[in-house]
């Protein structure tokens, strides 16, 4: 099976990626498998300055997945381009850096520093994280408002070379994800990543207090997979019906097996990210690639491309 996939101006060897935030900047995961085997490695969202994130505890397990309130811990863009990106380039990884900001101008600044990096050659695209649920000011999730989303995307698009696609990472916590998706594409997004974590919380019934120091957190893992499949499906349908331009979708949310990945692909995803599953099995991204390839072979497909969006029945 030809597993290569096209994301904007780039052709990737295969559709499997890490999900942002779940494998930091690659060094740890590289102890378990060669990260250059992935279609792309997606890094933890990076902001302009170093950040320590929110207070602990900031992870909690629930039966349906994991809650996190990390709060954008990271080294800052300068250290990222000096250390992390050159390391990823040195091991031959194809990289999708994830960028974040507290304002549209901060996003643009982070993108500008990234573009000027000597290691920018390994960058196959930039994921613009407008959907972090753990920003200090809860009123400020860009991806919950079409105008705020569009502003960030337009400013980042100006900073990133035309042949490097930018992907808007969307939040599931909106009433109409197709409206946000359309606003991002109109503003210059070359693709969409769906979905970020779903806002949730849990309470420690011994202490009778919230589990997380930050009270609320983002839910990831098996419980949100149907939400991700729904989001990818709805946006792909909006594209097929001519309600917005057609751009590639990267599907993410609770993928643990090749079968899970196939659901997102059939719903319309041209690539699939694996995040939370890596905590139990660090080799999950390459295992899912192997399983997905095996499934497509069993079903008699010659190429990955022909399966993208197949559940809509229009191909
Ligand atoms: O760092 C985080 O708290 C975080 C981010 Br930036 C995000 O996009 N999604 C998430 O669940 N946590």
Q: Is the beta carbon of 46 within 6 A of some atom in ligand 1?
A: no
Element (H, E) at 105: helix 104-115
CA atoms within 13 Å, Cβ hemisphere of 152: 31
Structural domains of the chain, with CATH: 5-53+71-199+220-312 (3.20.20.70)
Please check the confidence at residue 315 and state whether its pLDDT lies above 70. Answer: no
User: What pLDDT does 91 receive?
Assistant: 98
Asked if 122 is an active-site residue, the reply is no
User: What pLDDT does 242 receive?
Assistant: 98
User: What size, in residues, is the chain?
Assistant: 315
Confidence class of residue 133 from pLDDT cuts 50, 70 and 90?
Answer: confident
Q: Is the beta carbon of 193 within 6 A of some atom in ligand 1?
A: no
Confidence class of residue 134 from pLDDT cuts 50, 70 and 90?
Answer: confident
Bridge partners, residue 125, by sequence: none
Instruction: Tell me what the pLDDT averaged over the chain comes to.
Output: 96
Cα separation, 128 vs 194, whole angstroms = 12
Please check the confidence at residue 176 and state whether its pLDDT lies above 90. Answer: yes
Question: Can you say whether the dihedral through the CA atoms of 159, 72, 251, 232 is positive or negative?
Answer: negative
User: What pLDDT does 235 receive?
Assistant: 98
Q: Is the beta carbon of 134 within 6 A of some atom in ligand 1?
A: yes
- Give me ligand 1 centre to Cα 132, in Å: 5
Scored b (16 or more CB within 10 A) or e, 100-114 reads: bbbebebbbbbbebb
Q: Report residue 198: phi and psi, to 5°.
A: -95, 130
- Alpha carbon 285 to chain centroid distance? 13
Cα separation, 160 vs 23, whole angstroms = 24
Q: What is the pLDDT of residues 196-205, one digit of tens each?
A: 999 999 999 9
Q: Report residue 149: phi and psi, to 5°.
A: -60, -50
Q: Which of 43, 167, 197 to mutate to test the pocket of ligand 1 (most atoms within 8 A of CB)?
A: 197
**Which residue puts its alpha carbon closest to atom 9 of ligand 1?**
132
- Mean pLDDT in residue range 215-239: 97
Confidence class of residue 146 from pLDDT cuts 50, 70 and 90?
Answer: very high
- Give me ligand 1 centre to Cα 30, in Å: 22
Interface confidence, given as ipTM, is 0.99
Please check the confidence at residue 267 and state whether its pLDDT lies above 60. Answer: yes
**Which residue puts its alpha carbon closest to atom 1 of ligand 1?**
72
User: What pLDDT does 83 receive?
Assistant: 97
Q: Is the beta carbon of 252 within 6 A of some atom in ligand 1?
A: no
User: What pLDDT does 165 receive?
Assistant: 98
Index of the ligand 1 atom closest to the CA of residue 54: 3
Helix locations, the chain, DSSP H: 77-79, 85-90, 104-115, 146-159, 177-186, 225-240, 258-267, 277-280, 284-298
Q: What is the DSSP letter of 40?
A: B
- Give me ligand 1 centre to Cα 217, in Å: 9
């Amino acid at each position: 099976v030809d597993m290569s996939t096209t994301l904007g101006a780039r052709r990737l060897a295969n559709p499997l990626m890490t999900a942002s935030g779940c494998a930091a900047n690659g060094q740890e995961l590289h102890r378990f498998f060669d990260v250059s085997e992935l279609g792309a490695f997606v890094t933890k969202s990076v902001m302009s300055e170093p950040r320590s994130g929110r207070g602990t505890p900031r992870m909690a397990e629930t039966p349906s997945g994991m809650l996190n309130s990390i709060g954008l811990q990271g080294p800052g863009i300068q250290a990222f381009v000096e250390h992390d990106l050159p390391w990823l380039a040195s091991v031959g990884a194809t990289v999708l850096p994830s960028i974040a900001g507290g304002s549209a101008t901060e996003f643009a600044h982070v993108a500008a520093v990234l573009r000027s990096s000597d290691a920018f050659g390994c960058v196959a695209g930039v994921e613009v994280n407008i959907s972090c649920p753990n920003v200090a000011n809860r009123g400020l999730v860009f991806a919950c408002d079409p105008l705020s989303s569009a502003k960030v995307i337009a400013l980042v698009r100006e900073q990133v070379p035309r042949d490097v696609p930018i992907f808007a990472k969307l939040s599931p916590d909106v009433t109409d994800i197709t409206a946000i998706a359309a606003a991002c594409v109109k503003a210059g997004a070359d693709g969409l990543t769906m979905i970020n974590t779903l806002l949730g919380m849990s309470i420690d019934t011994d202490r009778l207090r919230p589990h997380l120091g930050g009270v609320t957190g983002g839910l990831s893992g098996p419980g949100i997979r149907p939400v991700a499949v729904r989001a990818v499906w709805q946006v792909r349908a909006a594209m097929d019906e001519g309600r917005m331009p057609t751009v590639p979708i990267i599907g993410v949310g609770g993928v643990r097996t090749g079968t899970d990945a196939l659901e997102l692909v059939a719903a319309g995803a041209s690539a699939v990210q694996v995040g939370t599953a890596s905590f139990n099995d660090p080799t999950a991204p390459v295992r899912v690639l192997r399983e997905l390839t095996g499934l497509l072979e069993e079903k008699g497909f010659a190429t990955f491309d022909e399966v993208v969006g197949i559940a809509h029945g229009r191909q």
